[in-house]
Structure 1
């Protein structure tokens, strides 16, 4: 499905839904294709007690982008599921919105690897996330 445009990808992602956790965290996709996906998340409501974005919140944004991108690549009748994720946090956002940009490192028939760079409103990198997804046949409806 590498020929999917951003508008087609956004339609697909909207129809599929991002899941309850991503919705609770205020994550929104602004670009969505196999080659590049972008999403935002508000800092407010996703912080540690000291007012910094929680590291787990960065990971939720990264996994939302990476897993959804892998599922778009997998195509109809296939399902991508996360098997590995890691994150390195290098800066802390304290206000505004953070933006995640997801790009593929490897797009195979059975494995995908994506890198997600999350930046603050000033364009400073806050976290770098790498996710690996396994692609398999989707369960048959009963």
Structure 2
């Protein structure tokens, strides 16, 4: 890992409680250039009117995980922005803890593609996201 990657990882951990991640209780479990794992406790604050996790929460978790992973991989060479997010919802969740794992599909000079699997407490995949990032230099 380069010094630039170490700096980005430190910055991610320092700002864990800030912004969207802080609002939903997102906690980073593993942060590296090749994989990011987060957990999110599920409660009524994440539910849609029918008492299940709102689909937008899954999309936002996928975007967050992919963006952090892409930033760590890119290191000090620039920054990333999301340009497409396609997330499929596979299973309803009402309570427990979600675990999201982001891994690279493609990492190139101008763009990256990350796959984010979100699982429930029983390790069942409940949503799968694919996020394309643009590398800004």
Superposition deviation, residue 16 in structure 1 = 5.2
1:85-111, CA deviations, whole angstroms, 9 ceiling, x for partnerless residues? Answer: 101101011111111010000111211
Structure 1 portions without partners, runs of 5+: 138-142
Corresponding residue for 1:14? 13
Corresponding residue for 2:47? 47
Scaled by the length of structure 2, the TM-score of the pair is 0.89
Contact kept? 2:83, 2:133, Cα under 8 Å: yes
SS of corresponding position for 2:46: coil
Asked if 1:33 corresponds to 2:32, the answer is yes
Superposition deviation, residue 10 in structure 1 = 4.5
Aligned length, in residue pairs: 135
Asked if 1:91 corresponds to 2:56, the answer is no
Task: Give 4+ residue runs of structure 1 displaced > 3 Å after superposition.
Answer: 7-10, 15-19
Scaled by the length of structure 1, the TM-score of the pair is 0.86
SS of corresponding position for 1:76: helix
1:19-49, CA deviations, whole angstroms, 9 ceiling, x for partnerless residues? Answer: 5112111111100111111001111021112
Corresponding residue for 1:118? 118
Structure 2 portions without partners, runs of 5+: none
Corresponding residue for 1:127? 127
Superposition deviation, residue 15 in structure 1 = 3.2
Higher share in helix: 2
Q: RMSD of the alignment, in Å?
A: 2.2
